[in-house]
């Protein structure tokens, strides 16, 4: 393990239902949320939530990494912590992939998504949760018969 502190910049995030890794190390993002997680019922229980963070390693080394998602009232939805160790060339882009256990999104609103390296904030984004009205399916009109 390196005694140098890794320097990491997070460029973007993807929020989705799941993330898989192929044998060739490419990632598959399944059920990507473009703007918001929408549901007719709130709270929402999701079997998992995938968070992909596109990171650029500016300096190799080791660092403690943390990602949090909070509800609009400040309650913690998840808090994932781990270590990053990178010994390759500086400037390398990679994905930091997080798959949560089941999560409950208790209210609609804006959920802050944050990432920290050694306790310092390196990324601040959000996930919107929106209640949408149920879809009403209209029955096709029957042709009327002349009298």
Yes or no: say if 15 and 103 are a contact pair by the CB < 8 Å rule.
no
- Residue 46 bridge partners (DSSP): 103
Domain boundaries of the chain, sorted by first residue: 7-131
Distance CA 39, CA 17 (A): 14
Fold held by 7-131: Immunoglobulin-like (2.60.40)
Distance CA 73, CA 8 (A): 29
Residue 19, Cβ density class (10 Å: 0-12 exposed, 13-18 middle, ≥19 buried): buried
Residue 2 has pLDDT above 90, yes or no: no
127-136 pLDDT, tens digit per residue, is 999 998 887 7
Q: Whole-prediction pTM value?
A: 0.82
37-88 pLDDT, tens digit per residue, is 999 999 999 999 999 999 998 988 999 999 999 999 999 999 999 998 888 8
């Amino acid at each position: 393990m390196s005694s140098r502190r890794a320097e990491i910049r997070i460029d973007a995030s993807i929020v989705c239902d799941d993330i898989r890794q192929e044998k060739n190390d490419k990632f598959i993002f399944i059920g990507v949320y473009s703007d918001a997680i929408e549901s007719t019922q709130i709270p929402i229980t999701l079997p998992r939530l995938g968070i992909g963070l596109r990171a650029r390693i500016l300096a190799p080394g080791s660092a403690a990494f943390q990602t949090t998602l909070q509800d609009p009232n400040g309650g913690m939805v998840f808090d994932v912590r781990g270590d990053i160790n990178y010994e390759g060339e500086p400037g390398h882009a990679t994905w930091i992939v997080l798959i949560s256990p089941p999560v409950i999104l208790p209210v609609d609103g804006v959920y802050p998504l944050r990432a920290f390296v050694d306790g310092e904030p390196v990324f601040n984004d959000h996930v919107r949760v929106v209640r949408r009205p149920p879809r009403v399916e209209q029955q096709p009109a029957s042709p009327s018969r002349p009298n």
